[in-house]
């Protein structure tokens, strides 16, 4: 007989966990300096489509309501549209989201939307091809990412965001242009403080706001809250003599620690539960998804969660590579 599972996941600090970030692969067609320094070799995709579907079903019974697929580059999974469709059909799951580098988006945006994907974040750090090559390697192509974002706008995602990791002396002069570009596609422009997974010189959220002002974006307060830690501002700017407006999100993982409100856990591409991005504790779930019972998987999830620290220690530590964990 199946043990009835509690529909609540609560960590040792009493934070309710409703959000799963699931890495589908640690493979990537880019090699961003801040994410996969040294091109760490892929360890392979531990969870196939049935294992992902089973894991999400178990998490949903335990109270997870939102799933974001990430990686590595999740669009390298040939079965991505089917994986989204399975998760969308899982009882209890209210929203499925995806984070991508945008390279395969032109062909995938519509099939993903039709499969039930609701929220889409696309990473774009610069409009300059040379700078993109410097950040992400030779495979990255600005025009493909732009076309992918245009296709996503056309496909009608209720939530579309353009993610930028801000690097001092690299793309910190493009924040205003990135905002105006995102708004022209109905997207939110999001600026992310660099976390210590690789190289690069960080820019704080406070400084990003100042730079946006210098680059023609006036900021006004806004109360919008999403699933995650981003805080928002409304922006006003001018393009071709006309006033343009839109939302901006800021993720200040280092200078504006948001761990008190944390509502998430991660599963890495190797199929291990990571309760905190900025921690090292892991509990392997992949073998149990092959041969274990649902109860054994649940027990492993609770064990992983029982070790979730009160806050990350990213300002004191550095980590190997985000590409293996899932950002």
Tell me which residues touch ligand SAM (CB under 6 A).
28, 34-35, 70-71, 73, 99-101, 123, 163, 165, 192, 194-195, 197-198, 322, 327
> Among the candidate windows 31-39, 77-85, 242-250, 307-315, which touches ligand SF4 by CB under 6 A?
31-39
Tokens 């393009």 locate to 239
Is 73 near ligand SF4 (CB under 6 A)?
A: yes
Total of chain residues touching ligand SF4, rule CB under 6 A: 14
Q: Distance between CA atoms of 97 and 88, rounded to whole angstroms? A: 10
Q: Distance between CA atoms of 228 and 80, rounded to whole angstroms? A: 23
Give residue 31's region: left, alpha or beta (phi > 0; psi -120 to 50). beta
Q: Which is nearer to ligand SAM, 100 or 126 (CB)?
A: 100
**According to CB under 6 A, which residues from 78 to 117 bind ligand SF4?**
101
> Among the candidate windows 67-75, 219-227, 232-240, 276-284, which touches ligand SF4 by CB under 6 A?
67-75
- Cβ neighbour number for residue 152 with a 10 Å cutoff: 30
Out of 18, 52, 55, 72, the residue judged to bind ligand SF4 by CB under 6 A: 72
CB 264 within 8 A of CB 20: yes
Q: Let me know the angle formed at the C-alpha of 280 by 45 and 268, rounded to the nearest 5 degrees.
A: 20
Q: Which is nearer to ligand SF4, 73 or 298 (CB)?
A: 73
**CB 204 to ligand SAM: min, Å:** 13
* Distance (Å) of CA 288 to CA 113, 195, 213, 298, 308: 31, 32, 51, 10, 21
**According to CB under 6 A, which residues from 115 to 154 bind ligand SF4?**
123, 136
Q: Which is nearer to ligand SF4, 30 or 250 (CB)?
A: 30
**CB 250 to ligand SAM: min, Å:** 12
Nearest residue to 120 via CA among 58, 186, 72: 186
Is 167 near ligand SF4 (CB under 6 A)?
A: no
Q: Distance between CA atoms of 148 and 18, rounded to whole angstroms? A: 29
- The listed partner (ligand SAM, ligand SF4, none) that binds 136, CB under 5 to 8 Å by sort, is ligand SF4
- The listed partner (ligand SAM, ligand SF4, none) that binds 36, CB under 5 to 8 Å by sort, is ligand SF4
Is 35 near ligand SF4 (CB under 6 A)?
A: yes
Q: Distance between CA atoms of 97 and 158, rounded to whole angstroms? A: 11
**CB 189 to ligand SAM: min, Å:** 13
Task: State whether residue 62 is helix, strand or coil.
Answer: coil
Q: Distance between CA atoms of 261 and 14, rounded to whole angstroms? A: 10
Contacting positions for ligand SF4 (CB under 6 A): 28, 30-32, 35-36, 71-73, 101, 123, 136, 322-323
């Amino acid at each position: 007989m199946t043990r009835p599972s509690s529909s609540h996941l609560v960590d040792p600090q009493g934070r309710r966990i409703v959000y799963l970030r699931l890495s589908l692969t640690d493979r990537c067609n880019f090699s961003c300096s801040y994410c996969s320094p040294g091109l760490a070799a892929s360890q392979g995709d531990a969870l196939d489509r049935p294992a992902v579907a089973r894991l999400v079903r178990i998490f949903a019974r335990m109270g997870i309501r939102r799933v974001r697929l990430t990686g590595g580059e999740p669009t390298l999974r040939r079965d991505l549209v089917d994986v989204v469709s399975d998760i969308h059909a899982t009882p209890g799951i209210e929203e499925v989201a995806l984070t991508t580098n945008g390279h395969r988006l032109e062909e995938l945006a519509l099939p993903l939307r039709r499969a039930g994907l609701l929220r889409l974040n696309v990473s774009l750090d610069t409009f300059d091809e040379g700078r993109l090559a410097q950040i992400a390697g030779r495979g990255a192509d600005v025009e493909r990412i732009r076309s992918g974002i245009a296709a996503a706008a056309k496909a009608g995602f209720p939530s579309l965001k353009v993610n930028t990791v801000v690097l001092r002396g690299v793309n910190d002069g493009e924040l205003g242009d990135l905002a105006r570009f995102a708004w022209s596609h109905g997207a939110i422009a999001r600026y992310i403080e660099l976390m210590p997974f690789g190289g690069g010189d960080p820019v704080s959220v406070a400084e990003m706001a100042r730079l946006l002002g210098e680059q023609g974006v006036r900021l006004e307060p806004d109360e919008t809250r999403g699933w995650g830690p981003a805080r928002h501002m409304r922006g006003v700017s001018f393009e071709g003599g006309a006033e343009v407006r839109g939302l901006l999100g800021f993720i200040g993982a280092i200078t504006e620690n948001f761990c008190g409100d944390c509502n998430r856990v991660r599963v890495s591409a190797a199929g291990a539960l990571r309760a905190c991005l900025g921690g090292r504790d892991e509990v392997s779930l992949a073998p149990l998804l092959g041969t274990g019972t649902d109860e054994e998987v649940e027990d492993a999830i609770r064990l992983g969660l029982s070790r979730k620290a009160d806050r990350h220690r990213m300002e004191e530590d550095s980590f190997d590579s985000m590409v293996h964990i899932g950002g």
